[in-house]
Structure 1
Amino acid sequence: MIASSIQGYREFVRAQSLLNPCLQSLVDYLSPNPAAPRDRQPSVHSISVSRNGSLTTNLDLEGLKDLISRKRRVGCEEPLGIILVIEDICPATVELLGAGLSIDPLFFCDHINTSFPKSGSDPLPPSLVSFPSVIRNRDFVNIHSQRILDLGPIAKDATASYDVSVFGNYKRNARRLVPLKGRQVALMRSCCSILLKKFPEHPWLCVILIDPTPDGYNTRPNLLVSPGSPYLAQEQSSLARFEDFRDVLPFSSNLLPRHHQGSAISRRCFRETLLGYFESLPPSLDPQSPTALGLSYYPLRIIAAEWMQYTHLMSRYVKHYEFSLKDDLHLRLHREDIVDLQRWRRRSDQTLHKLMLTEQFIAHRCGAEPDQALWSDVLDDYRFLTSCIGRYRNSLELILPLATSMAQIADTRRSMLEASNVKHLTLIALVFVPLAYVASVFSMSDGYVPGGPKFWVYLSVAVPLMLVIVGLSFVSRARVIRLVVWLKGILE
């Protein structure tokens, strides 16, 4: 029964792609592809929510099937709801969840496809082809973000590529930036998707999809590599550097609950950070009647912290280019810098679009939340991020025409220097050409060679001829024309 439902869901997505062309990327993802296998086992964690708190357990594929078919409860006997945190989802899990929970294919498609197409025939992601009014009224949310990747120190013998790829069951594209302080930095497109399903006689179910924890980063374009390849660099996640958004407990609190201790939450990857926060229920979440926005509190806060790191990175690049213009143009200002500034302008527009969609989701749903003040603060934080990114975008955009002008000035200086060198070479040629010509006329036999009895004849002919040619080179063209006309008149 489950196998037939899975097969039917795949055909359903294929049929729906005729009405929604953006689903073609999901159709390609679900189709078998021996060249790019997607059979890695996803990491599935089940969080059973009860009145007393939550309990996290690991699930395998069979356990997930049992949970979807509601044959047993996971974590406790009678949970109010279950939160599924799935990292690096595979096609089999997509079909299992889609068929068992009747999930909109756009939920999976917008999570898997975050790449901007390189050609007109490639399908666009749903976040680009759907209107904001349609996106904010869906029963799920796809929170798009940019994740900072530290690829380590610059390798002198390595050929760095602009395209960097992270491979799991689906590929995440990243872009290498201009090195900062000897470190290689990249930006990876990321997504966290949240879906809430409620059932009349069963616990509610929340599905949270997160990106895989990268084993490494391919620094060569269009090359599928495995972990352990010499071309891979280990990740140093920006999650380890973000500030905790929870209230700081006073020093007088001697016995701290485990979920309030800073050391209780691992920040090695997004999955462990999210599971650590979900050890306690999100504030203002009613376990008996949850909302998609209430369950999105921790993901929204973590992603906001990542966006804060992104704004700091933009600030550092503004400073980088401002100091680049003050240094020697021949040492710091290159064509790649101009191209990178143009990319920052386009990248900032895409970033503002992602933040706008997240803001509209919060603003549209926060009216039904019991704690209005809490969500007003979250909304203000995202608006603050939007204003910061917009401000740094304007700064980078103002640097672009200045950098272009400086590059043109550098080219002009280089052209003037080359013209001066050509002039020097011309003067040298004006000296040696007459001497060489006269030497060829006399054939420089034994009598005319330097030190010979007739060498004075060579000098008496070559030196005046050289002086005449050099002198004529300093005469303007108009004077030469007048001289030719005067000589022609005399001859006539």
Structure 2
Amino acid sequence: MSSPYFDYVQNLSQESPGPSLLFEFLRGSCLQPEVEQLGCNIASLEFYEDGVTEYSRLNAEKLASQISRYAKHDTASKAVGLCVLVEDVRPDVVEILGGAFDINPNFFGEHIEKSFVEIERNPPSSLMTSLPTRVGSEGFVNIHYQRPINLGDTDTHSDFPYEIYLRNKVTRPGRCLPALFGKRIGFIRSCFSMLHKRINDDRWICLMLMDSLSADVMGHLSADDNVLRDEFRVRQVPYRRRKNQNRLVAFSEFQTASPSKEVRPMSMLDEVAMLIQECTQASKQLPSTYDISILAVGPIKLIIDEWLTYSLIMGRYVKAYEYSIKNVRDRLCKFDSVDILELYRWRRRSQQSLYKLNVLRHFAEFYASTDGNNHGNNLHEGLARDISYVIGQINQNGKALEAMMPIMTSIIQLLDSRRSTIESIYVKRLAYPPLVFLLPSLVTSLFNMSEPFSITSSNSWIYIVVAMII
């Protein structure tokens, strides 16, 4: 039996094509291919009026029970704010959250948006129509970004597909870049979505959806006839440094700690919750007055770190594509098939990256201009400056990569000109032997016109004398 929220989305998808992607996601919950089960991927962060926060891991059943009590203002719960963190959102979680808090379907639909669509075949997606006046004005934001991942050494994986994807509930496409000094690096098109909604004057709910950092990276290796051959699978290794370095355990605490204490690796949920707690504790506002401008500061810092890593990788590829006369001969075999193609991809990729970063900057600037709190205003102005810095780095690296295309073409033309000059010298040398035998051949043809001077006659010596004199 379908849920009321599912029926609501289905009705909207029949009226307009906007929610159709979300409807297909909800309808395909039992038809999805087998995905990796990563355990508990839901957490909640409760905020109390005295500034205390309580972080807990949940499953779908506990989530439904908790938000039901919170929505009904159960007296047992004295929390004034509830932040629900979901990693790799599932269709049943979407129905639970959407039905409990009357969530705009566009929030979920824009989160599962995969990439820029081909506009000649499909209507433009929300990812392509994020205007500055729209960003931040709807109470939610969907931040799309490129997340670098480490795919290992080239010795370990010599053959790697260009098109890759994450084995998530929400399939995220990615790209494997050419080998960089013996390493394989990839980009995953990720999304971080945030929604803030007030239940009444004193209580609020915040939803944060994010992608998994534990799902495997998969792809299909193609044969020579472009037929899918084998399925490729490797463990995902994020490239960015985690934020748990901000709270290092002191040596004295380590000595007094129990040796049997279980150490659990920090997940995306734990990292985001820690960042939110740090930003809210630094804020001077009451927890009941928190809005998306305060709660989004930590996650935006995390996304900026991903973009900064992205720009640093771009800078390394600028060095990798530096051509010279010495190494151009070794790279000539892959010039047309790899280097030029990749430079065009980098140009398109940098354009799309700048568009996504500008959307993120518009969001920070929107709350920097509307936030009356000086502390919050300074936070968002600082975020806008950081985003502008990353935009400048990516723009500079993108222009450097684009400027390499005519330089590479000029070097190849210069190499071809040098090769033509060398070949002309060899052709000139080959022309000398025919010149030596040209005049004797002429004499032979003249003397063969009459019988007395044939090779069998006694006057053949005259041919040799005449040829030597000439």
TM-score normalised to structure 1 length: 0.74
What does the per-residue CA deviation read over 1:165-215, in whole Å, with 9 as the maximum and x for residues that have no partner?
A: 112101111111121110011111111111012112773111000002243
The 1:303/1:147 distance shift into structure 2, 3 A limit, reads same
Structure 2 match to 1:28: 24
Are 1:174 and 2:174 matched, yes or no? yes
What does the per-residue CA deviation read over 1:200-256, in whole Å, with 9 as the maximum and x for residues that have no partner?
A: 277311100000224321242699xxxxx9832223212326796x6999x9x9889
Q: Is the 8 A contact 2:279 2:294 kept in 1?
A: no
Q: Is the 8 A contact 1:266 1:276 kept in 2?
A: no
Choose the corresponding residue for 1:48, options 46, 58, 63: 46
CA distance in 2, matches of 1:77, 1:429: 104
CA distance in 2, matches of 1:414, 1:35: 57
Structure 2 match to 1:298: 298
The 1:369/1:331 distance shift into structure 2, 3 A limit, reads farther
Q: Is the 8 A contact 1:47 1:56 kept in 2?
A: yes
CA distance in 1, matches of 2:354, 2:51: 40
Structure 2 match to 1:352: 354
Segment drifting more, 267-276 vs 331-340: 267-276
Structure 1 match to 2:161: 161
- Give the letter aligned to residue 394 of structure 1: K
Structure 2 match to 1:146: 146
- Give the letter aligned to residue 33 of structure 2: A
Shift of 1:16: 4.9
SS in 2 for 1:175: strand
What does the per-residue CA deviation read over 1:317-361, in whole Å, with 9 as the maximum and x for residues that have no partner?
A: 112222x33542121352211111111111111111111111111
What does the per-residue CA deviation read over 1:94-141, in whole Å, with 9 as the maximum and x for residues that have no partner?
A: 222222222222211221113123573345431203433123311101
The 1:125/1:431 distance shift into structure 2, 3 A limit, reads farther
The 1:230/1:26 distance shift into structure 2, 3 A limit, reads closer
- Give the letter aligned to residue 365 of structure 2: A
Shift of 1:13: 3.8
Shift of 1:312: 1.2
Count of residues in correspondence between the two structures: 427
Structure 2 match to 1:342: 344
- Equivalent residues in 2 for 1:257-336 (5 A)? 269-282=267-280, 283-284=282-283, 286-322=286-322, 324-325=323-324, 327-333=326-332, 334-335=335-336, 336=338
- Give the letter aligned to residue 413 of structure 2: Q
Structure 1 match to 2:240: 239
- Give the letter aligned to residue 378 of structure 2: A
Shift of 1:38: 6.7
- Give the letter aligned to residue 59 of structure 2: D
Choose the corresponding residue for 1:368, options 368, 371, 396: 371
The 1:241/1:38 distance shift into structure 2, 3 A limit, reads closer
CA distance in 1, matches of 2:220, 2:136: 38
TM-score normalised to structure 2 length: 0.77
Q: Is the 8 A contact 1:166 1:216 kept in 2?
A: yes
The 1:400/1:424 distance shift into structure 2, 3 A limit, reads same
- Equivalent residues in 2 for 1:59-138 (5 A)? 59-70=58-69, 77-117=77-117, 120-122=120-122, 124-138=124-138
SS in 1 for 2:324: helix
The 1:222/1:160 distance shift into structure 2, 3 A limit, reads closer
SS in 1 for 2:78: coil
SS in 2 for 1:206: strand
SS in 2 for 1:194: strand
Shift of 1:36: 3.1
What does the per-residue CA deviation read over 1:429-459, in whole Å, with 9 as the maximum and x for residues that have no partner?
A: 9999xxxxxxxxxxxxxxxxxxxxx9xxxxx
- Ranges in structure 2 where 5+ consecutive residues have no aligned partner: 224-229, 255-261, 438-455, 457-461
- Equivalent residues in 2 for 1:396-415 (5 A)? 396-413=401-418
What does the per-residue CA deviation read over 1:358-389, in whole Å, with 9 as the maximum and x for residues that have no partner?
A: 11111111231511222221221111111111
- Equivalent residues in 2 for 1:379-398 (5 A)? 379-398=384-403
Q: Is the 8 A contact 1:53 1:281 kept in 2?
A: no
The 1:103/1:331 distance shift into structure 2, 3 A limit, reads same
SS in 1 for 2:47: strand
Are 1:11 and 2:10 matched, yes or no? yes
The 1:169/1:420 distance shift into structure 2, 3 A limit, reads farther
The 1:295/1:178 distance shift into structure 2, 3 A limit, reads same
CA distance in 1, matches of 2:178, 2:220: 16
The 1:241/1:64 distance shift into structure 2, 3 A limit, reads closer
SS in 2 for 1:205: strand
Q: Is the 8 A contact 1:193 1:209 kept in 2?
A: yes
CA distance in 1, matches of 2:263, 2:314: 28
SS in 1 for 2:184: strand
Segment drifting more, 84-93 vs 111-120: 111-120
Q: Is the 8 A contact 1:81 1:204 kept in 2?
A: yes
Structure 1 match to 2:442: none
CA distance in 2, matches of 1:175, 1:79: 43
